[in-house]
Amino acid sequence: MSRSLILALAALTGSVTPSAAQLVVQGVRDLNFGPVLQGFAATVAPTDPIKSGQFYLRTPGIGTRVRIQFTLPTQLIGPGNARLAITFGANDGMAKGTAPSSVAAFFNPKATVIYRMVTSADANVWLGGRITPTANQPVGSYTNTVIMTVTVF
């Protein structure tokens, strides 16, 4: 019987620019894979309401364009410095304004994305990903840091 791994991508952080009155970026929720079986890959979609990582951003107003860039790890670090591969795919990023009429925009978090605030001045950005534990992956919690940088232009 496989033992389960408890995994969390901790320290989901956002950057706040010096002009905080114009732009606010906050980490809301860590990307968390939950219990994972050794030797079986696990995926979290950005649409997952519990496990996906989440950021909130507020901009100067409707019509504002922002550049979103992620600094993403390639490994999670666990017990005894054990490593666990983590990858991010073409649709593992999602941004959506907070207005009821807002439409979700999926993107590749490995690439820089330009997002325009169309229906609201604030939005949420979600992050999914995939881990690939080995058959003999040490059991325990694995973490690393994700950084989202937002620039207004």
* In the chain, where the domains are located: 4-152
86 and 130 Cβ atoms separated by less than 8 Å: yes
- What digits encode the pLDDT tens for the residues 76-110? 999 999 999 999 999 999 999 999 999 999 999 99
State how far the Cα of 113 lies from the Cα of 81, in Å rounded to an integer. 33
Return the structure tokens found at 123. 């939005």
- What digits encode the pLDDT tens for the residues 59-78? 999 999 999 999 999 999 99
**CATH T-level assignment (fold) for domain 4-152:** Immunoglobulin-like (2.60.40)
The confidence band for 153, taking pLDDT boundaries of 50, 70 and 90, is confident
State how far the Cα of 34 lies from the Cα of 42, in Å rounded to an integer. 9
pTM of the predicted model as reported, rounded to 2 decimal places: 0.86
